[in-house]
Amino acid sequence: MLGLNEISIRIGGRLLIDNASVQLPERGRIGLVGRNGTGKSTLLKAILGEVPVDMGAIRQRTAARIGTVAQDAPSGKTTPLEHVLSANRERTSLLAELEETDEGLRVAAIHERLNDIGAHAAPARVARILAGLGFDEAAQNQPLDSFSGGWRMRVALAAGLFSEPDFLLLDEPTNHLDLEAALWLEGFLARYPNGLLLVSHDRDLLDKVCDGILHLDAAQLTYYAGNFQRFERTRRVKLAQQQTAYERQQAERKHIQSFIDRFRYKASKARQAQSRVKMLERMEPIADVTEERTARFEFPVPDHLAPPILVLENTAVGYTEETLVLKALDLRIDMDDRIALLGANGNGKTTLLRLLAGELSHASGEIKRSAKLEVGYFAQDQFDLLQPDRTAFQHLAAAIPGAADAKVRAHLGRFGLEQAKADTRIGDLSGGEKARLVLATITTGTPHMLLLDEPTNHLDIDAREALVQALNSFEGAVVLVSHDPHLVSLVADQLWLVRDGRCRSYDGDVADYRRSILDAGREARREEKRAEMRPTVSKRENRRRRAEDRAAKATL
């Protein structure tokens, strides 16, 4: 069990958690939710002992192992398979000792312990985890230094999952994943045998994995049994009851105050008026339900273009003439299209977006664009172009040279970056606020088509819902890559599958695609269990070895 007992946490003088207490079930799979900036990641660090608590205590079961994913991406010449295997420290230690000792009884004991912890099946289990996160057999055996930072963070995630601590802490684990890997992770976490505390803004992940929700709001922690959907229903009822109680109390206070005002100076009623003054003083005030205003998104309205706005005919694209990523592309996009790209990372989804954006030239075939076509492309590397010492206003003003200040501020306001936020240094903005600034920047030209590569990575749940509404109201085309099936299902009316160097229409919906991924995961688990039932060293063999050791010693 993990217990938070009357804890208070301040960061930079700001009170994030105020005298909060909660007891988490020992094997519960708990989702930690709350708006951006409320202190969820800070709470995880406090549980890990990386951030001090100002008051109170965090208690856990004696000898319980609390684990998480390393914040720094692993690197070096070791392979993903080797790095993840090393995360099981007991197995690694026993194997090292086995290499160094020749004492018979100790060798037999090591073999028996290795059998007990399933060490013989560990490489197969690690391979399954890495495969689920997108590493094929060849990639599992390449040096870590050959991978990008995002892929190496997947290795760090695999190591955290394989180590299987008694309580696993995960902070936005799907941020570096594609939809396929996110669906695999969903299934893995839903079966996690120990305690889990998960920070995520992915509604589907919280619904499928969690059996409890811990809500951080107004510096307080409240635990709700059930998944995220049940949490939302329960919270809505709770807020409605609180608002009703508040209104009832306000009416009662008004009635009492009216009596006091009427009879305070009337001798025959003065004593009753005084008693009502004391009644008001003792009445515990009920807070008014004032929901914090969520981020808003409002895309500018583009001029209408005659269909089609973009056509690809037998088009091929790659980064060199010798290595084509995609070929034989026959695609058409109209202004009213809502398209989501499916396919594991490495198959060419981002390459296709860059081709549509005009950032890559096609190697062969033909591309026809409407002469007036304007494109807004949201890419992850655009965050690197944000200068931390500039304000949001200064950044956008530079993107619209000559624009009046009022126009710049109005455009920022469409994305929830109003006066205070507009004049805040970019380095002091949250990840979600930076994402809104990037969206504001790519839409300064009033695009007819939005190309969005993982736009929700830094957005909280309320901001994601606002983005869904804005995209559904947008009067241009949308081509979307996202690991969030909730977003894809609510926005896209066409699914294109990018696989094996081709892009074709997918005959099915997100639920069908989810089932295919989960079916593949179930088959992998069945194979893992079959592997675990084939021990390399049986107990009978261990007994035989011990008997031989005893006989050898007797002859000395």
CB 182 within 8 A of CB 174: yes
Measured CA to CA, the distance from residue 483 to residue 174 in angstroms comes to 7
The CA–CA distances, whole Å, from 366 to 221, 313, 359, 362, 477 equal 57, 5, 16, 8, 20
Q: What is the pTM of this model?
A: 0.80
Alpha carbon distance 449, 162 (integer Å): 42
In the chain, % of residues over pLDDT 90: 58
Using CA atoms, how far apart are residues 193 and 28, in angstroms rounded to an integer? 9
If one compares 268 and 139, the residue with the highest pLDDT of the two is: 139
Summary mean pLDDT of the chain: 87
Q: Which of the residue ranges 38-52, 337-351, 541-555 would you say has the lowest mean pLDDT?
A: 541-555
**Most confident of the ranges 32-41, 65-74, 150-159, 523-532:** 150-159
Lowest mean pLDDT among 87-91, 277-281, 491-495: 277-281
Measured distance CA(199)–CA(169) in Å, rounded: 8
User: What element of type H or E holds 503?
Assistant: strand 502-505
First to last CA, the chain: 53
93-132, pLDDT tens digit by residue?
Answer: 888 888 888 888 888 888 888 888 878 888 988 999 999 9
d(CA 236, CA 222): 14
Tell me the per-residue pLDDT of 18-31, one tens digit each, with 9 for 90 and over: 999 999 988 899 99
Using alpha carbons only, give the angle 13, 18, 19 rounded to the nearest 5 degrees: 135
How many residues in the chain? 556
pLDDT at 534 over 80: no
Q: Between β-strands 375-378 and 364-369, what pairing exists: parallel, antiparallel or unpaired? A: unpaired
> What is residue 481's three-state secondary structure?
strand
For the chain, what is the largest distance between any 2 Cα atoms, rounded to a whole number of angstroms?
113
Cα dist from 290 to 18, 287, 343, 545, whole Å:
19, 9, 42, 72
Q: How confident is the model at residue 535 (pLDDT cuts 50, 70, 90)?
A: low
> What is the C-alpha R_g of the chain?
29
Reported as a pLDDT band with limits 50, 70 and 90, residue 14 is confident
Structural tokens at position 54: 């100002």
Whose structure tokens read 């057999």?
A: 137
pLDDT band, residue 241 (cuts 50/70/90): confident
Contacts of 54 (CB under 8 A, 6+ apart): 8, 9, 10
Long-range contacts of 539-543 (CB under 8 A, 24+ apart): 539/112, 539/115, 542/108, 542/111, 542/112, 542/115
Per-residue model confidence as pLDDT tens digits over 146-191:
998 889 999 999 999 999 999 999 999 998 898 889 989 998 999 9
Lowest mean pLDDT among 328-342, 501-515, 524-538: 524-538
Q: Tens digits of per-residue pLDDT, 357-414?
A: 999 999 999 999 999 999 999 998 888 889 999 999 999 999 999 999 999 999 999 9
For the chain, count helices (H), then strands (E): 20, 18
- Asked if 29 and 223 count as a contact pair (C-beta separation under 8 A), the reply is no
- pLDDT of 552 higher than 60: no
For residues 202 and 218, is the Cβ–Cβ distance under 8 A? no
- State how far the Cα of 377 lies from the Cα of 352, in Å rounded to an integer: 12
Label residue 548 by pLDDT band (50, 70, 90): low
Instruction: For residue 171, report the phi and psi dihedrals to the nearest 5 degrees.
Output: -115, 105
Residues 6+ apart with CB under 8 A from 283: 249, 252, 253
What pLDDT is stored for residue 543 in this prediction? 58
Within 10 A of 284 (CB to CB), how many other CB atoms are there? Answer: 5
Q: Are 411 and 487 in contact (CB under 8 A)?
A: no
The two three-digit tokens of residue 27, written as one number: 């094997």
The yes-or-no verdict on residue 494 having pLDDT over 60 is yes
Report helix angle 122-132 to 510-532, nearest 10.
170
Q: How many other C-beta atoms can be found within 10 angstroms of the C-beta atom of residue 473? A: 11
In angstroms, the CA 517 to CA 457 distance is: 21
pLDDT digits (tens, 9 = 90+) for 276-325: 777 777 776 655 544 555 568 999 999 999 999 999 999 999 988 778 99
- Asked if 442 contacts 376 with a C-beta cutoff of 8 angstroms, the reply is yes
Q: Which residues pair with 25 in a beta bridge?
A: none
